[in-house]
Structure 1
Amino acid sequence: MTLLAIGIVALATVLVPLWRAIAFDGYGVRPPPRSHLDVDDVDNRGMPTKYAGLR
């Protein structure tokens, strides 16, 4: 019975971080469209010269 309890605790100790790493890795989340980036500065034609947060 003691070995079963230790086995259950060990299994949970391994599976919980594994599940969190797979579920929250960010690969399933789509990035926002490029048109929604914050623009720091634009040139004389209105084209962005640099984006906020990329530098």
Structure 2
Amino acid sequence: MATGKSATLSDLRKRLERWLRQIGRKRYQPEKHYMRGPGPATLQREATEPRQREL
């Protein structure tokens, strides 16, 4: 009976280790999600419209 229990614990340990490794690989990288600077629509609009002077 001890063999069955140790096999179950061993499987559980392997699954837990695999899961933890997957979490480690999937780190949040904010530089991939946040826009830096104006987008292409803004750049195109500014290129075609005359710029108004602010007072």
TM-score (structure 2 length as normaliser): 0.46
Decide which structure has greater strand share.
Answer: 1
Decide which structure has greater helix share.
Answer: 2
Larger gyration radius, structure 1 or structure 2: 2
